[in-house]
Amino acid sequence: MDGLLLIDKPQGWSSFDVIRKLRGTFGADDKAGNAGNQNTGKDGKRTSQPGARPPKMGHAGTLDPMATGLLMVLVGRATKQQDQFMGLEKTYQAEVTLGATSTTDDAEGTIYPAQDQPANSESPPNPQPEEKQVRKLLEQFQGTIGQVPPQYSAIKVDGQRAYALARDGAEVELEPRSVVVHEMSAVVYQYPTLRFMARVSSGTYLRSLARDIGQELGTGGYLSSLRRVAIGDYSVEAAVSPEAGKEQLSAAIRPTH
């Protein structure tokens, strides 16, 4: 069993929760069948025949538990192609809530009202930006940009994950990374909610994008909702639920090229 399985990840599930569920599904029938599949040996004792193990699995690009949408699961020998799929561009439906900040840059962190800008700032705080200003700013975020990853991220700092250091109260210094925002479209704005579609390069953090938009507008902002709708040419419309049965999941596995 080798190939690519497109999964529509539910909210509240980690990417590993999906893998664990799929492994359980593909292994469940083998375990159940194996319990009743016993032979009698020469000594008259019953011996069980080992069933097949669930196939090797891995995902090609994690999604935070808060987010929903397309998760690529590589099955069997296809796991060797992980880097190939990890590098594909992603498309998201994002929602940013302005007027507040979050310790994790998303809705799962502790939410605080936006702080005033520093006293030496040349521009005063902007409590409710106009739509024209918001759209103009989004244009500035398109193209190649330097992006500082969230404090709560899986990036390693001195051999430790940034999120682990942040949980211990450490201030993590993360260097900006070059990412590409190919397109931002379908903008809908009604303060404090800003929604848009974003097609971005691999490695782009939508949490950071939300945070930076809020900072530039002078309001603060955090990512309040996220759905990944496409990875490269693969769409979430072709994905199946991780809670589907073994037969449906098996039929959904497609070959990789």
- Distance, CA of 210 to CA of 94 (rounded, Å): 9
What three-state secondary structure class fits 198?
strand
Q: Identify whether 64 is a catalytic site residue.
A: yes
User: How many Å separate Cα 36 from the centre of its chain?
Assistant: 40
CB 46 within 8 A of CB 40: yes
The number of residues making up the chain comes to 257
Catalytic member of 64, 105, 106, 212: 64
Buried b (16+ CB within 10 A) or exposed e, 182-221: eebeeeebebbebebbbbbebebbbbbbbbbbbebbbbbb
What is the end-to-end Cα distance of the chain in Å, rounded? Answer: 15
- Distance, CA of 162 to CA of 164 (rounded, Å): 5
Active site residues: 64
